[in-house]
């Protein structure tokens, strides 16, 4: 369960505001838009990927204490997935699932040939 960055009380993950201190927890009052907030006297821009690569156009930059686009620079932007050839059985299973129509036709043809013999 996440905690409020202002009062440190535990709050529901879908809460729009903190029930204890009325601190906004979601951007624009929408539970699907996270609002990242800094703790204490620090700023988010110090460790944000978009500030470090100079692509941020947020008006409060570089002193933003809350932001909807924050991404910690120490974390990768995209989670790494193993290459398809290293997936083993899961790779074969996924391939069969993607081509299930062709596999069904091939099985029908194979069954027809076996019955005809």
What is the pLDDT, as a whole number, of residue 109?
Answer: 96
pLDDT in tens, the chain (117 residues): 788 888 889 998 888 888 999 888 888 878 788 888 887 788 888 889 888 888 888 888 888 888 888 888 888 888 777 665 666 787 788 889 999 999 999 999 999 999 998
Using left for φ > 0, alpha for ψ between -120 and 50, and beta otherwise, residue 40 falls in left
Q: What pLDDT is recorded for position 85? A: 62
CB 62 within 8 A of CB 45: yes
Q: Which two tokens stand for residue 47?
A: 């460790």
In the prediction, which pLDDT does 115 show?
Answer: 95
Tens of pLDDT along 46-70? 889 888 888 888 888 888 888 888 8
Which pLDDT score is estimated for 102? 94
| Per-residue three-class SS string for the chain | CCECCCCCCECCCCCCECCCCCCECEHHHCCCCECEECCCCCCCHHHEHHHHCCCCCCCCCCCCCEECCCCECCCCCCCCCCCHHHCCHHHHHHHHHHCHHHHHHHHHHHHHHHHHC
Q: What is the pLDDT of residue 110?
A: 96
The pair of three-digit structure tokens given for residue 35, joined into one six-digit string = 């609002």
């Amino acid at each position: 369960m996440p905690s409020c960055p202002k009062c440190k009380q535990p709050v529901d993950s879908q809460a729009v505001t903190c029930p204890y201190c009325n601190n906004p927890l979601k951007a624009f009052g929408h539970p699907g838009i996270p609002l990242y907030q800094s703790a204490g006297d620090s700023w988010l821009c110090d460790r944000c990927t978009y500030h470090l690569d100079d692509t941020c156009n947020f008006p409060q930059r570089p002193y933003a204490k809350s932001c909807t686009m924050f991404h910690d620079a120490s974390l990768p932007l995209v989670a790494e997935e193993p290459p398809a050839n290293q997936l083993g059985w899961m790779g074969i299973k996924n391939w069969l699932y993607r081509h299930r129509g062709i596999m069904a036709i091939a099985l029908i043809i194979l069954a027809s040939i076996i019955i005809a013999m």
